[in-house]
Amino acid sequence: MNSHIRRSMPLFPIGIVMQLTDLSARQIRYYEEHGLVSPARTEGNRRLFSFNDVDRLLEIKDLIEQGVNLAGIKQIFAARQQQHTETTPSVAPKVMKQDLSEEELRKLLRAELMEAGRFNRASLRQGDIARFFH
Amino acid sequence: MNSHIRRSMPLFPIGIVMQLTDLSARQIRYYEEHGLVSPARTEGNRRLFSFNDVDRLLEIKDLIEQGVNLAGIKQIFAARQQQHTETTPSVAPKVMKQDLSEEELRKLLRAELMEAGRFNRASLRQGDIARFFH
DNA sequence: AAAAATATGTGATGAAATATAACATATCAT
DNA sequence: ATGATATGTTATATTTCATCACATATTTTT
């Protein structure tokens, strides 16, 4: 299961994320400043958000609308994270992936897409990037 | 099935598409100039590509690598389009959607996401934008 | 109540990403 | 050899985004 690669691939500039989440740039940056999201950066220092990042922002927005303040949200995320590490059968504490450069991530995805695409593409049917973000 | 909405939502700036497809900006713009892709535009006239657009570009790249020239690709796409309309049981030739503004598209998606997210988000599990791009 | 902290808006300034256009060039077909 | 195709390269303008500083409304704390 490498869906987590697809989901953590930096894809969206802040402008799109604003529209997707209905949050202001100020808010998004502020949340980042407080460690609630950690978007990647381009070489030129522009933020690039992944699906996971956008997800996270939607959760933050939700919680804020329910009156939770940033400190609270931080705790909630921390708790979830902890529960995760507890629950997770840490079988192979080897070299957890995760430390792939954005470049590598994209190459990986592209490889996947190309490969998978051959079927449809060869037979001239419509291609399918989107399908792979299940 | 409104996956086509998700797939046709303008999301990516050209820089990301370049990395996703390994095409140069020049190439991408040239293909657009010849009607092989039609990315949306921001208010400020910047191109915004959808999953479908990226898919299309990957197909174009594939065909070009196989020696097909742009005229050929155009024909191939046209043929596919025609076959589609032939095959398609055009039951309801009513007001085919498709003519939604980008704004509306995003609002729709956001609505979907928010709604669907409530389940997981409420129980504090990880959200799920990516899942909706199946 | 006054002061401090939180969360966000707004504006200035600079840099990065992208747009268009023009010209160069390599490859291919005629 | 000539012309068309496809792409690279460079110049210039515009848009989008980054950071920072200051303003402000709301809570929280003292």
Q: Which CATH number is A40's domain given? A: 1.10.1660.10
In the predicted structure, residue A96 carries a pLDDT above the cut 70: no
Q: Give the closest of A55, A128, A133 to B126, CB-based.
A: A55
The pLDDT value recorded for residue A91 is 64
In the predicted structure, residue A32 carries a pLDDT above the cut 70: yes
Judged by CB atoms closer than 8 Å, whether chains meet at B130 and A125 is answered as no
Q: Give the closest of A11, A19, A79 to B12, CB-based.
A: A11
Residue type, A127: G
Residue numbers in A near B5 (CB within 8 A): none
More confident residue, B16 or B110: B16
Query: Which residue range(s) make up the domain with A48?
Result: 1-84
Residue numbers in A near B114 (CB within 8 A): 58, 62
In a domain, A3, yes or no: yes
pLDDT tens-place string over residues A84-93 = 778 777 665 5
What is the rounded CA–CA span in Å between residue A98 and residue A134?
20
Alpha-carbon B67 to chain mean position: 25
The pLDDT value recorded for residue A90 is 66
In a domain, A104, yes or no: no
Question: 3-class SS at A79?
Answer: helix
In a domain, B120, yes or no: no
Taking the CB of residue B11, how many other CB atoms lie within 10 A of it?
Answer: 27
Alpha-carbon A121 to chain mean position: 28
* Shortest Cα–Cα distance, B32 to chain A (Å): 18
Judged by CB atoms closer than 8 Å, whether chains meet at B127 and A76 is answered as no
The pLDDT value recorded for residue A102 is 44
More confident residue, B77 or B103: B77
Contacts of B119 (CB under 8 A, 6+ apart): none
Q: Please give the mean pLDDT across all residues of chain B.
A: 76
In a domain, B13, yes or no: yes
Strand partners, B123: none
Our count of domains for chain B comes to 1
What is the rounded CA–CA span in Å between residue B43 and residue B39?
13
Q: DSSP letter for A49, please.
A: B
Average pLDDT (B42-61) is: 96
Nearest Cα residue in chain A from B107? A20
The pLDDT value recorded for residue B123 is 31
The CA-based diameter of chain B, rounded to the nearest angstrom, is: 53
pLDDT tens-place string over residues A105-121 = 444 554 444 333 333 33
In the predicted structure, residue B116 carries a pLDDT above the cut 50: no
In the predicted structure, residue B71 carries a pLDDT above the cut 90: yes
More confident residue, A80 or B68: B68
